[in-house]
């Protein structure tokens, strides 16, 4: 149990943590975060650059070794011609040194230079930004520092660490430098022949820098464009969601505060999505709430009015009673007071029943109710108790399934009210007919009397609370005027209807028609 509580608490904490951010911020985060991860590809390009440099290391070593073999044993003229030719074709600077480390030939001195280092003082803003981006990424990925390439003042082999190493070990040596603009400079030193001469090649690998920067720029521009488009689309999506929700929230607050009785909850009829469904549901709910509030206010006013009359009569009788000495008059006043007390008791009972209808039905479990059996039992019970006053009750339930889904006690109350109303309006020795039949997917019950009938314009008024049209000769106050109102409320709570109509056979009298959905 404790574990379940901890889990529930953790869930509530998680909801509250995400709830601190607005819906717009969360939509932006969901759409932009993946793109931020994609932008991590900019840092992947650093490893791509390292791979290119490593491949170029291997190439520099091979180029230097092949060139050294070609130079070994060549004449002076052939030696210089090879340096110029290979330097131009491979875009290299080649220098040879003798056994004492003295410079013997330089391809840049023998011919025009095959490449030139970039002068960063002439760079435009785009090139400066590229250098800044290179340094930033190198700092983030903790790239190993590389020594800057600087031409030594002394043109001898000892000025180059890789040449000194090659002379000492007799093996080829390759080294990486950086030019000021971030371009890698790769040097290779190899022995030439067996007399102690050495060769130094220098490559300005600007193609590596151009390749990495081009890829980085392409990826960066793509990520920026997609991120901008995603942000705009996210803001549009958030606006289409958040704006109507804010309208609904403001309207709901105004309805709650009750400051504007006529405030309109937007229904958003142009939207067929979930937001539109929510708006219409909230609008309908608000309308139903207002109707319920109006009904409660009206009901309270009606209750106050109906109870006030018997209370006034009761108070008058009690106030007069002490001053009356005539026994007959005193007995009459006591009878009036007793009648008023019973009338108030009946009103309170019916009012309480009317106010509990919706709540009781909403909490109750629906059951299968056979209307034919329910009316038959009710008619038999009334006859046994002599409640019909000489009227004859006739039931015609036909054949077949006459069952509905409902709350038995509430449906019994409807049946009791319908029969009681028909009996009270029927003349002595009259006939009250109860007919039950099936009409498509509904069960229709008609309770007809032989009374004066109901004028067409008053057939809806009889279902209003405290309706006071009663048969002639009936004692005042014997009915609360809530019976049919309660009956209609119960019918509507069961997705049914209760209406007043003329008798289907054209004879005098009224017919109350109850229609309920048939049970499956």
Q: What is the pLDDT along the chain (520 residues), one digit of tens a residue?
A: 444 444 444 444 444 444 466 666 767 776 666 666 655 655 666 677 788 888 988 999 999 999 999 998 888 899 999 999 999 999 999 999 999 999 999 999 999 999 998 888 877 777 787 777 777 777 776 777 889 899 888 888 889 999 999 988 989 999 999 988 888 999 999 999 888 899 999 999 888 888 877 777 777 777 777 778 777 777 777 777 777 878 888 887 777 776 556 667 777 777 777 777 888 888 888 777 777 777 677 666 666 766 777 788 888 888 888 888 888 888 888 888 887 788 777 777 766 666 666 666 667 788 999 999 999 999 999 888 888 888 899 999 887 788 999 988 889 988 988 998 888 888 888 899 999 998 888 999 999 998 888 888 888 888 876 666 545 544 444 455 677 888 888 888 888 999 999 888 878 888 999 999 998 8
Helix (H) or strand (E) holding 11: helix 2-19
Closest CA to 187 of 84, 46, 56, 48: 56
- Residue 279, Cα to own-chain centre: how many angstroms? 13
The predicted pLDDT at position 410 comes to 86
SS3 397: coil
The predicted pLDDT at position 1 comes to 45
- The Cα–Cα gap between 391 and 240 comes to 67
The predicted pLDDT at position 366 comes to 85
State both tokens at 318: 């009690």
- The Cα–Cα gap between 266 and 251 comes to 8
Maximum distance among all Cα pairs of the chain, rounded to whole angstroms: 163
The predicted pLDDT at position 357 comes to 66
Portions of the chain given CATH number 3.30.565.10:
365-520
Whether residue 85 contacts residue 74, with contact meaning beta carbons closer than 8 Å, is answered with no
Alpha-carbon separation of residue 124 from 32, 121, 129, 148 (angstroms) = 31, 9, 9, 22
- The Cα–Cα gap between 443 and 17 comes to 54
Alpha-carbon separation of residue 130 from 172, 209, 221, 227 (angstroms) = 34, 10, 13, 21
Count of other CB atoms within 10 angstroms of residue 394: 11
Closest CA to 480 of 468, 490, 495: 468
CATH number for the domain running over 41-217: 3.30.450.20
State both tokens at 471: 């048969």
Long-range contacts of 463-466 (CB under 8 A, 24+ apart): 463/487, 463/488, 463/498, 463/500, 465/299, 465/302, 465/354, 466/302, 466/305, 466/306
- The Cα–Cα gap between 186 and 204 comes to 7
**How are beta strands 442-448 and 431-439 bridged, if at all?**
antiparallel
State both tokens at 426: 């029927």
The predicted pLDDT at position 92 comes to 94
**How are beta strands 403-406 and 103-106 bridged, if at all?**
unpaired
Whether residue 405 contacts residue 421, with contact meaning beta carbons closer than 8 Å, is answered with no
Count of other CB atoms within 10 angstroms of residue 289: 11
Classify residue 386 by burial, with Cβ atoms within 10 Å: 0-12, 13-18, 19+: exposed
Portions of the chain given CATH number 3.30.450.20:
41-217
- Phi/psi of residue 237, nearest 5 degrees: -65, -45
The class of domain 365-520 in CATH terms is alpha beta
- The Cα–Cα gap between 419 and 473 comes to 19
Cite the DSSP H helix spans in 364-468: 371-385, 408-425
- Residue 420, Cα to own-chain centre: how many angstroms? 53
């Amino acid at each position: 149990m404790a574990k379940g509580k901890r889990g529930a608490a953790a869930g509530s904490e998680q909801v509250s943590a995400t709830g601190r951010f607005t819906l717009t911020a969360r939509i932006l985060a969901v759409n932009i975060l993946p793109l931020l991860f994609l932008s991590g590809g900019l840092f992947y390009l650093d490893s791509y650059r390292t791979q290119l440099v490593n491949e170029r290391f291997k190439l520099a070593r091979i180029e230097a070794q092949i060139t050294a073999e070609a130079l070994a044993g060549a004449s002076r003229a052939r030696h210089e011609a090879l340096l110029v030719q290979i330097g131009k074709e491979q875009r290299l600077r080649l220098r040879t040194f003798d056994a004492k480390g003295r410079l013997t030939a330089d391809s840049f001195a023998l011919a025009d230079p095959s490449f030139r280092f970039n002068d960063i003082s002439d760079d435009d803003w785009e090139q400066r930004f590229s250098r800044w981006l290179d340094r930033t990424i190198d700092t983030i990925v903790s790239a190993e520092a590389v020594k800057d390439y600087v031409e030594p003042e002394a043109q001898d082999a000892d000025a180059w660490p890789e040449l000194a190493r090659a002379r000492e070990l007799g093996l080829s040596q390759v080294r990486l430098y950086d030019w000021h603009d971030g371009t890698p400079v790769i040097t290779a030193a190899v022995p030439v022949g067996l007399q102690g001469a050495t060769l130094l090649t220098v490559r300005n690998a600007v193609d590596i820098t151009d390749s990495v920067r081009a890829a980085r720029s392409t990826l960066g521009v793509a990520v920026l464009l997609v991120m901008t488009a995603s942000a705009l689309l996210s803001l549009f999506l958030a606006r289409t969601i958040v704006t109507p929700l804010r309208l609904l929230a403001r309207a709901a607050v105004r309805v709650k505060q009750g400051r504007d009785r006529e405030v309109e909850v937007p229904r958003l009829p142009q939207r067929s999505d979930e937001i539109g469904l929510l708006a219409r549901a909230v609008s309908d709910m608000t309308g139903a709430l207002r109707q319920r509030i109006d009904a409660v206010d009206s009901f309270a006013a009606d209750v106050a009015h109906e109870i006030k009359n018997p209370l006034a009569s009761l108070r008058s009788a009690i106030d007069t009673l002490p001053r009356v000495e005539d026994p007959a008059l005193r007995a009459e006043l006591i009878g009036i007071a007793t009648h008023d007390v019973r009338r108030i008791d009946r009103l309170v009972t019916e009012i309480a029943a009317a106010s509990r209808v919706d709540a009781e039905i909403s909490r109750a479990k629906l059951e299968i109710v056979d209307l034919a059996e329910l009316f038959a039992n009710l008619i038999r019970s009334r006859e046994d108790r002599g409640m019909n006053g000489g009227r004859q009750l006739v039931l015609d339930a036909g054949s077949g399934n006459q069952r509905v889904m409902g709350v038995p006690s509430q449906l019994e109350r409807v049946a009791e009210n319908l029969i009681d109303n028909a009996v009270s309006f029927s003349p002595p020795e009259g006939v009250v007919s109860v007919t039950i039949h099936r009409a498509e997917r509904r069960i229709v019950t008609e309770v007809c009397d032989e009374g004066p009938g109901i004028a067409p314009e008053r057939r809806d008024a009889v279902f209003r609370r405290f309706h006071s049209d009663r048969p002639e000769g009936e004692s005042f106050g014997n009915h609360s005027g809530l019976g049919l109102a309660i009956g209609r409320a119960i019918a509507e709570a069961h997705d049914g209807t209760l209406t007043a109509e003329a008798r289907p056979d054209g004879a005098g009298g009224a017919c109350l028609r109850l229609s309920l959905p048939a049970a499956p």
